Each structure stands twice: as C-alpha cells, then as structure tokens.
C-alpha cells in the first residue's frame, strides 16, 4: 500500500518522538515496572490518543491507516506503551465515537481523545475470556444510578486509567442481549484495584484485576441502550485487532533492526556474521514476514476507512502479525547468540513483550475461528 503525505507525516513525527523519548527509557521501565506517564503526555500532544477521532471531539481527525502506523511506531520503542495507547484508541474512543450520546462524547470522548484522560476497557473476567457472552458482572438500576458488582480481569490501564468502559449483565435471561455497557470513572466508590498482575513482559503497562463492589454510576453513564453491550463490545474489536497487529509489527521491527545491526557488528570466522549465508537467510525471512504482516494490517485498515466489512481481514492481520512477530523476535535472539538471552541487549525484552499479542483482543485460535466462519459464508 502506498502511503499519503499525511500518513508519512504522522508516522515520521511519532517515530522521531519515540526515538528520543520512549525507546531510551524502555529497558528502565521494564526493570522497574514504571508507568511511562511523561512519555504518554508527549504522545497525547502529538494526537496519538484519538488518532481516528474527529477534531471536534478532541482527536487528530485522521484514519485507521494512520492509527496502524502510529501504533507500530510506538511499539517499536516500547511494547507496553503501545498497548496503553492502542486500548485508549480502540476500543475505548472508537466505542464512544460510534455509540456515545452527544453529552457522553463531550464529557468523556473529548478528554480521552485529547489525552486529558486515559481509558480502560473492562470485558474479560476471571472465568470469562473468549466467550464474552458468559459475563458474570451485573448491573442493576437503583433510582437514577446503576449499581455494578463483579470482577474484571487483565485490564490494561485498570489502575492508571481515569475512566473504564465496563460490560455488565442487566438481564440474565436475555443472554447476549442482556449485556450493557457503562462508563465508570475509576474514582467511583466501589471501583477497586484488587490486584496488579506480575507479567512476562510489557511491564510499563499496568494489567489489573478490578473489583466492582456496589459501584454506583449515574444512569446517564449507560452507553447506548440496555442490552446493546455485546454488540458494542464486538464493534470495538476490529479496530482493536488492527492495533494489536500493528503492535506486533512494531516490536518485531525493533527486534529485526537490532539483529541486523548486530549481524554487521559481530565477527566470527574472520568476518561479520552478516556475510554468512545462514544468517542472511534468517534475516531475509524475518524481513519478508515483517513486510507481509504490515501489508495485511494496512489492507484491513484501508477497508475499515472505506466503511467496508473487515472482520476477516482484521482477524487475519492479527493472527499473522502476532505469530510472525514471535518468530521474528525469536530469530533475533538466535542471531545475537548468548547475548540475545541476557538483558544487556533489547531483544530478550522485546520477545517477552510481543508474546501476549497472540492472546489479548482474541487469541490466535479465536482469530482462526473467525476466519473459518468467514470462509464458510
């Protein structure tokens, strides 16, 4: 896909910022579980929090191709930081843009898209992952407030976010049609961070278990109508999968570039290891997989920008990009040899960071199911 001048401008602006303000700190954030607050503020100032949100609602007014490019660039500097930004864009901002009332857009979307606030998305529960229709969190109407009770699991920015979109059951008998979506400020009484997960990677991004214990939110914080929550949740997944696929490519690109540099610098048998055909073949496969994954993502994003269905294409992009990225990062470690296994070099961190891309926003198996269903139609 050929990029427009606007695409190149936003890509290059984010690339320059990440090079100076994200990548140099990624190892420190990883080792000390540091939330990258200052770096995020700079990314917000560049318009990265609401890339595809119209300017009237605080966003950059760009498109999903731009969003894919932005997330790739951030991920090339730090995987965890890109997760924070990706979730804020999709599904948080995308859901509010598509389903929020004018009042909700003014109150919540504008600060989320501009970076004045940070959003979280609360769908997954301790016993509910891929089967989003089996939620146990409930919401009941009590006068002019909804009261939410339940537990949400693996919530990105659950501890550091300002507001969460929470999916809860309002009518147990209605199945999928009994789920509703709510805006829940994280400072609401009854919203409690029960646990911060210790993870394999992405240590700069908090992943929290959230307990909702009689959490009261105003009735106007219901997004859409009662019973629309399942549709609302699914509507944010296409863009979310494009974002996760873009993360995968960004991290894989960083690992590939590190391996390419190392191959030129490291000497063995009297020559740089790059000159050995076995290493060149490995790098060639890495470069090919990287470009193929990127083009799948840009194709899915272009379809979404054109208003065309892209469920299958987004699933393909996430599946291929996430699995290819792990292979690229593994190969980058292999090229580094023993140095790839220690934390003096970035490739071991990137490998740890990229592994989760095959899990969140729908596992690889879920993507295959979605693709298979599309092929059966």
| CA–CA dist 85, 77 (Å, integer) | 13
| CA–CA dist 199, 191 (Å, integer) | 23
Structure tokens at 7: 């695409």
Helix, strand or coil, per DSSP, at residue 70: helix
Alpha-carbon Rg for the chain in angstroms: 21
361, 88 Cβ separation under 8 angstroms: no
Helices assigned H by DSSP within the chain: 5-21, 26-32, 37-45, 64-77, 79-87, 94-99, 102-104, 110-114, 229-235, 237-265, 277-305, 311-336, 347-354, 364-376
Of 136, 161, 169, the residue nearest 49 (C-alpha): 161
- CB-based contacts of 37, cutoff 8 Å, min separation 6: 160
| CA–CA dist 22, 269 (Å, integer) | 37
Catalytic sites, residue numbers? 361
Structure tokens at 336: 């580094």
């Amino acid at each position: 896909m050929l990029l427009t001048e606007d695409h190149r401008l936003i890509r290059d602006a984010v690339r320059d910022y990440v090079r100076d303000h994200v990548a140099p700190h990624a190892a420190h954030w990883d080792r000390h579980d540091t939330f990258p607050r200052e770096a995020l503020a700079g990314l917000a100032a560049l318009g990265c929090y609401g890339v595809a949100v119209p300017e009237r609602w605080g966003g950059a007014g760009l498109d999903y191709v731009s969003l894919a490019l932005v997330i790739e660039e951030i991920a090339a500097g730090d995987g965890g930081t890109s997760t924070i930004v990706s979730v804020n864009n999709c599904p948080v901002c995308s859901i509010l843009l598509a389903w929020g009332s004018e009042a909700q857009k003014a109150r919540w979307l504008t600060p989320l898209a501009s970076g004045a606030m940070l959003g979280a998305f609360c769908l997954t529960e301790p016993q509910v992952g891929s089967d989003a229709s089996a939620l146990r969190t409930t919401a009941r109407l009590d006068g002019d407030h909804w009261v939410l009770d339940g537990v949400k699991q693996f919530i990105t920015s659950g501890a550091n976010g300002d507001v969460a979109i929470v999916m809860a059951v309002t009518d147990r008998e209605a199945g999928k049609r009994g789920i509703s979506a709510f805006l829940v400020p994280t400072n609401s009484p009854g919203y409690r961070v029960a646990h911060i997960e210790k993870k394999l990677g992405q240590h700069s991004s908090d992943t929290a278990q959230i307990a909702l214990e009689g959490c009261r939110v105003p009735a106007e914080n219901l997004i859409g109508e009662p019973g629309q929550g399942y549709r609302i949740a699914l509507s944010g997944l296409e863009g979310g999968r494009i974002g996760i696929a873009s993360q995968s490519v960004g991290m894989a690109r960083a690992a590939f570039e590190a391996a390419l540099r190392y191959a030129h610098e490291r000497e063995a048998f009297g020559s740089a290891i790059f000159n050995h055909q076995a290493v060149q073949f490995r790098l060639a496969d890495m470069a090919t997989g990287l470009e193929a994954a990127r083009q799948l993502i840009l194709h899915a994003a272009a379809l979404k920008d054109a208003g065309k269905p892209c469920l299958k294409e987004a699933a393909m992009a996430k599946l291929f990009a996430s699995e290819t990225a792990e292979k690229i990062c593994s190969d980058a470690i292999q090229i580094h040899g023993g140095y790839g296994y220690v934390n003096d070099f970035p490739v071991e961190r990137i490998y740890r960071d990229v592994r989760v891309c095959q899990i969140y926003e729908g596992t690889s198996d879920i993507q295959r199911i979605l693709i298979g269903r599309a092929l059966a139609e």
